[in-house]
Structure 1
Amino acid sequence: MTVDVQALNEFVLIGSAVTLLAILAVRLSSRAGLPSLLIYLLMGVALGEAGLGIPFEDAELTQALGFAALAVILAEGGLTTNWRQMRSSIRLGASLATLGIVVSVTLVAVAGHYLLGLPWQLAVLLGAVCSPTDAAAVFSVLRVVPLPKRLTGALEAESGLNDAPTVVLVVLVSTGAVSDHHPGVVVAMVVGQLLGGVAVGLAAGFGGAWLMRRAALPTAGLYPLAVLSLTFLSYGAAAAAQASGFAAVYVAALVLGNSELPHRGATR
């Protein structure tokens, strides 16, 4: 695919207009108490083939953009999560993000297989896709709803951690690895990727915090960019090591967001 100046001009025009509408949608959603994701979906319908007629059928680009967006969402969620409030609920949140996902996937898969007649691979894939909560919706809604701190912390932890095992499971199911290996091997693969991602995230988070405290950057605006780059570095490093990039980016952001960094308020 080639991009000429005319195509670039059209992209800048449409892209900037859509971005401004998306920014204004945040104000509308915050006043209504609804996740802005719902408004974004309506904007997509209005811009797509059912509305203005912009065609888009590139599944691989959709997956890549979705992964990038999810990494940004998890980074923002980790950076703005208060560890002191979440610490007492981390066990419950981690249990919901792992054992809860297993129970949810199992129930949906069994129902899909026996009630809808789906093959097991498709039924498990359907269960994996439907199981995780939406991180963007949880982070945006829970922080304005007056709920007990323990409950909020558990739900935030679950929402930040559940994408990692779900994505690993979806990849294993869609590539046929689940049917090619013993269930115990599949579980070991999922656990190994999660632990590897957590380890990379901890290393990037604590190492990045140490580096930021000793780096004398010339302007305050460079610190947020550096912190965001560190979270994406953890994602890329974990992915290169065949570990969970989503677990890495959330853990790294959680560590960085709760560390004593220069210009911490501006970064958050």
Structure 2
Amino acid sequence: MQGLSDDTRRVLGDIARQYGVSEDAALAMLLAVQRGQGTMAQFNIGELGGSGQWMLGGMTMVGDMFNYGLKNTVDGLCNALSQALSSGRIHLPSASGAASAWWPQWLGSPSSTGAQNDSAYAVFPSHRRLAIKDGGGVHLYDTGDHFISGVGQQQGSNTGLTFSSQYGSFSVSSLRHVDDGAPSPTPVAEVEAGGFHNDGSPAPSPQPEMADTVSIEPAAIPAIQPPASPAAPPATAVPMADSTAILALIEKLAALREAGILTDAEFTAKKTELLSRL
């Protein structure tokens, strides 16, 4: 624990002993809580079950998901460290000042950062964004419902980076590129003539110009064949997601709802979608 003040060393040591963990594990968790601004943490600490996540007032996830004793230890440890940080009993220098932040400012502070070869990455769970910086600039990706817990070895370009989530390993190339910035609502286009306006009122059908009346015998009208119905594309089997991962994801979504990140409607819609995969 070199570089820490005597007061910080003392408080950190007391917290480590209170929860029965080593001071090194407590320090590693302290850094993770600091990166999460005191309200969340993503960590990979062998002594605490490997990869896991914690959210203040929400859900705690550990590698051994059914080890409730470990969950309680991690939750208590993170809460104690968060309170010590917010009260000033523990002081650490800022992990990344504004001047060194290479990602767009609207993303705020990342839950985790790192670098491999000539590229760097930062994860922003509250915005569902993954930022990657390389020689071509900064690129943003929509992480969807992935909760990133680790990064793999880079293979080639930045799109060869692999990350791990509750669904296993996945590459950056599988994510949607969103360099246009923050997500915005898709405008509803007005339906063409014969449909409806955006306010729900019917749109008038265009009236064709009247030409000179021409008498046409019925026999002269060619038979019109209805267009052939396009062949329906073959149904693609959707692989059933691992039930344990789905239940863990629902728990995570519940935590996001409790934290005010998701609305009740968004939570219900996503929960229904996930349960349909079981």
State the TM-score, normalizing by the size of structure 2.
0.23
State the TM-score, normalizing by the size of structure 1.
0.24
Structure 1 or 2: more helix by fraction: 1
Q: Work out which of the two has the higher radius of gyration on C-alpha atoms and give 1 or 2.
A: 2
Structure 1 or 2: more strand by fraction: 2
Report 1 or 2 for greater relative contact order, CA contacts < 8 Å, sequence distance ≥ 6: 1
